[in-house]
Chains A and B, each alone.
Chain A
Amino acid sequence: MSSLAEYAWLVPLFPVIAFALLTAMGRGAGRSFAWLGTLASLLSLVVSVMIAAPRLSGTAADYSSHFVWIQAGNVSLTLGFEVTNMTAMMLVVVSLVSFLVNLYSHGYMKDDPRISTFFAYVALFTGSMLGLVLSYNLLTMYIFWELVGVCSFLLVGFYYYKPEARAAAKKAFIVTRIGDLGFLIAILLLYWNMPDRALDFSSIHNVFGAQAGVISEGLTTLIALLIFLGAVGKSGQFPLHVWLPDAMEGPTPISALIHAATMVAAGVFLVARTFDIFQASPAAMTTVAIIGAFTAIFAATIGLAQNDIKRVLAYSTVSQLGYMMLALGAGAVSAAMFHLFTHAFFKALLFLAAGSVIHSIHTQDIREMGGLGGKMKITAWTFAIGALALSGIPPLAGFWSKDAVLAAALEAHPVYFAVGVITAFLTALYMARLFFLVFTGKPRSSFSAHESPAVMTVPLVVLGVLTVVAGFVHTPFNGWFGEWITGHAEEAHGGALVMVLSVAAAVLGIVLGWLIYGKGSMRRGSERWPGVARLLERKYYIDEIYHAVFVQSLDRLGKLLHLFDEYIVDGAVRLAEQSAVALGRLNGRLQSGQVQAYALAAVIGLVILALAIAGRRFL
């Protein structure tokens, strides 16, 4: 049977063609042509579903295909694609979210004059992301990895006339570049050390999984940590998380698509895909778990004190990605992928709902909102579903995946579990704060809210439904998803303790949030501990510290190098130029046009020649 997986390369191809067409037509393309991008993502979705559907039984064999890209001597680089259960799942998630965001953007970006450019970028991003997911080796993945980075840069800086958007785009690009460098070095190390110079995931699986010892333990740890550095950059983990909240300067659909559901999850996907390397190195696993746990709680505390609706969600994304990393570090690929899967839906839902609010009242400051629930019923309800899912309230998707992550954490180390539960509490608290401040109470500034058009609310409803049902693929009573993803049955673990504690933390957070921000019967934390609130609002001064330590020192180094360039390099250039000019002037003076001067020169030359010939006799 010729399986459809052989045509998986079509999936990323559709959006790329749409991108090419939209770009070729330029600005004249206009509104109606922007539907090309939507059509392409719909086609990708259809093909993805057709690829994934036959695999659901769990018996389909993986399919991979590749070709030699560059052959020079005995160095050959191959590109290719591979369809496994994990990539099939990612294909469906990415193309589905991309399609819904495309649809939504027709409403959100309606009045933007550069709407066709926007859809072209989104199409390029969708194509690159699907390509990244399908990659059969690390090299192919790296190419698409950089492409999604470029798209992120272009789309964060979409409102290029705003200085903050420009700065955010540059920051996003430069900070992720630090991680990308690590990833690149890891690829080179693998290339040098792998048998047969293979970079494909199945060889990695064989070398690190089955025949351990081919690559020394120290090198394995180094490679794992460098790959993780790439994931840290892309997924906004602790030291490199600073770009993700700033990336919220981009249009809101982009925040939903790139900076919540898909691209930032690429780091998690990368670690999951190369998980055998991590498993071969306990030190790397511990690092992943600690960074993930720290990021989860660290970002959640910052999320408590932010006043920009999108920034709260951005820190929440950072925190949830930390959760996924924690699950990976605890050794539970299926839990991480499951959380990635559900998070993609409910976080995209939250961002799109936030976009609907912003579209309606044109502000992002939650202090100016309030009482929107009455006017924007669909938005409010879907946001509530997303918020409850994120907080981990059963039976929504977030509950099941968070439960899986926490169960894995408990098995690895009680401290991870404690951090996870505290983070769950904080998550519930800041989501409750966000919901009650935005949708309940009285309006705190004058605005006329209205519900968004159907093209925007339909994706919200679809994502809302998915948020409700997506969790049932993997519950403690039904381990189908985990088995499907990893290929082996997971033993049932966690149990009642994890569930009770995580629900208790979530309910406590929501009730506390309601008491403080909904009912107003408790004083706010910012009044009780203004110092702490200030520290959180300023994001632990991380940006300021980075500015003082890295940006300024690099700035000074740059100035120094600029001086070197100006005086030494440019000086040498000017010297060459001026000596040529001086020589020219001298020659110009010699070329007086006076025949007598020429004759004199000839005579002098003759005399010198005669003297030289005569003088040779005496030497």
Chain B
Amino acid sequence: MNPASYLTLAAILFCIGLYGVLTKRNAVIVLLSIELMLNAVNLNLVAFSKYGVQPSFTGQLFSLFTMTVAAAEAAVGVAILIALYRARATVNVDEFDELRR
């Protein structure tokens, strides 16, 4: 089995996620796109743990870590999003330009 197909899939996933992060207006979709990018990384980690130069369990362990952190991140992210929505009554990221002020 060729690792290139895994890596290609991971790259495609990452790019879709990146595109979503950079272009989508809806903050929920931006969060989802971030998850997509994280999963692309997970895919890479798993692929290299099996077909890498020195196959080991480290990659798989790391992907488990990533999933845990991603879950925590999603929880925090959604919590912030809800707080923002309560304050501004919108989830449109274009309107979140607090950094400029």
Enumerate 19 A-B pairs (CB-CB under 8 Å) in ascending A order: A591-B99, A592-B97, A593-B97, A593-B98, A593-B99, A593-B100, A593-B101, A594-B94, A594-B96, A595-B93, A595-B99, A596-B22, A596-B23, A596-B30, A598-B99, A599-B22, A600-B22, A603-B18, A603-B22
A603 to B15, CA, bound (A): 11
B23 proximity list for chain A (CB < 8 A): 596
B100 proximity list for chain A (CB < 8 A): 591-593
A592 proximity list for chain B (CB < 8 A): 97, 100
Determine whether the beta carbon of A596 is less than 8 Å from that of B21. yes
Q: Which residue of B has the minimal Cβ distance to A594?
A: B97
Within the complex, the shortest CB–CB distance from A319 to chain B, in Å, comes to 80
Total number of B residues with any Cβ neighbor in A under 8 Å? 13
A17 to B20, CA, bound (A): 85
A591 to B30, CA, bound (A): 21
Which secondary structure dominates where chain B touches chain A?
Answer: helix
Interface residues of A in 287-325 (CB under 8 A from B): none
Determine whether the beta carbon of A594 is less than 8 Å from that of B98. no
A588 to B18, CA, bound (A): 25
Interface residues of B in 46-101 (CB under 8 A from A): 93-94, 96-101
Within the complex, the shortest CB–CB distance from B52 to chain A, in Å, comes to 22
A598 to B18, CA, bound (A): 13
A159 to B93, CA, bound (A): 73
A253 to B52, CA, bound (A): 109
A592 to B98, CA, bound (A): 9
Interface digits, B8-23 against A, CB 8 Å rule (1 contact, 0 not)?
A: 0000000000100111
A26 to B91, CA, bound (A): 72
A467 to B99, CA, bound (A): 90
Q: Which residue of A has the minimal Cβ distance to B99?
A: A593
A393 to B21, CA, bound (A): 112
Interface digits, A594-617 against B, CB 8 Å rule (1 contact, 0 not)?
A: 111011100100000000000000
Interface digits, A543-562 against B, CB 8 Å rule (1 contact, 0 not)?
A: 00000000000000000000
Q: Which residue of B has the minimal Cβ distance to A598?
A: B99
B18 proximity list for chain A (CB < 8 A): 603
Within the complex, the shortest CB–CB distance from B51 to chain A, in Å, comes to 24
Total number of A residues with any Cβ neighbor in B under 8 Å? 10
Contacts A600-B22, A603-B18 given: A594-B93 contact, CB under 8 Å? yes
Q: Which residue of A has the minimal Cβ distance to B24?
A: A596
Q: Which residue of A has the minimal Cβ distance to B30?
A: A596
A603 proximity list for chain B (CB < 8 A): 18, 22
A596 to B18, CA, bound (A): 10
Within the complex, the shortest CB–CB distance from A599 to chain B, in Å, comes to 6
Interface residues of A in 411-448 (CB under 8 A from B): none
A595 to B22, CA, bound (A): 9
B94 proximity list for chain A (CB < 8 A): 594
A156 to B93, CA, bound (A): 75
A603 to B14, CA, bound (A): 13
A596 to B21, CA, bound (A): 7
A598 proximity list for chain B (CB < 8 A): 99
Interface digits, A577-599 against B, CB 8 Å rule (1 contact, 0 not)?
A: 00000000000000111111011
A84 to B23, CA, bound (A): 97
Contacts A603-B18, A603-B22 given: A596-B99 contact, CB under 8 Å? no
Within the complex, the shortest CB–CB distance from B2 to chain A, in Å, comes to 23
A599 proximity list for chain B (CB < 8 A): 21-22
A598 to B22, CA, bound (A): 9
Within the complex, the shortest CB–CB distance from B64 to chain A, in Å, comes to 27
A599 to B100, CA, bound (A): 15
Q: Which residue of B has the minimal Cβ distance to A600?
A: B22
A595 to B99, CA, bound (A): 8
A599 to B98, CA, bound (A): 15
A sample of 10 more A-B contacts (CB under 8 A), given A594-B96, A595-B93, A598-B99, is A591-B100, A592-B100, A593-B98, A593-B101, A594-B94, A596-B23, A596-B30, A599-B22, A600-B22, A603-B22
A600 to B96, CA, bound (A): 16
**Residue from the set A591, A594, A598 with the largest chain B CB neighbour count within 10 Å:** A594
A333 to B100, CA, bound (A): 84
A592 to B93, CA, bound (A): 12
Within the complex, the shortest CB–CB distance from A602 to chain B, in Å, comes to 10
A595 proximity list for chain B (CB < 8 A): 93, 96, 99
A591 proximity list for chain B (CB < 8 A): 99-100
A600 proximity list for chain B (CB < 8 A): 22
A594 proximity list for chain B (CB < 8 A): 93-94, 96-97
B99 proximity list for chain A (CB < 8 A): 591, 593, 595, 598
Interface residues of B in 6-43 (CB under 8 A from A): 18, 21-23, 30
A591 to B99, CA, bound (A): 8
Within the complex, the shortest CB–CB distance from B15 to chain A, in Å, comes to 11
A600 to B100, CA, bound (A): 16
Interface residues of A in 253-272 (CB under 8 A from B): none
Q: Which residue of B has the minimal Cβ distance to A588?
A: B100
B97 proximity list for chain A (CB < 8 A): 592-594
User: Which 6 pairs, one residue from A and one from B, show the smallest C-beta to C-beta distance?
Assistant: A593-B100, A593-B97, A593-B99, A600-B22, A596-B22, A594-B97
A142 to B97, CA, bound (A): 70
B93 proximity list for chain A (CB < 8 A): 594-596
A599 to B19, CA, bound (A): 11
A600 to B18, CA, bound (A): 9
Q: Which residue of A has the minimal Cβ distance to B96?
A: A595
A592 to B23, CA, bound (A): 15
Q: Which residue of A has the minimal Cβ distance to B93?
A: A596
A592 to B22, CA, bound (A): 14
Within the complex, the shortest CB–CB distance from A606 to chain B, in Å, comes to 11
Q: Which residue of B has the minimal Cβ distance to A602?
A: B22
A209 to B48, CA, bound (A): 106
A594 to B99, CA, bound (A): 8
B98 proximity list for chain A (CB < 8 A): 593
A282 to B94, CA, bound (A): 93
Within the complex, the shortest CB–CB distance from B73 to chain A, in Å, comes to 16
Within the complex, the shortest CB–CB distance from A603 to chain B, in Å, comes to 7
Within the complex, the shortest CB–CB distance from B82 to chain A, in Å, comes to 18
A593 to B94, CA, bound (A): 9
Within the complex, the shortest CB–CB distance from A318 to chain B, in Å, comes to 75
A591 to B100, CA, bound (A): 6
A461 to B21, CA, bound (A): 105
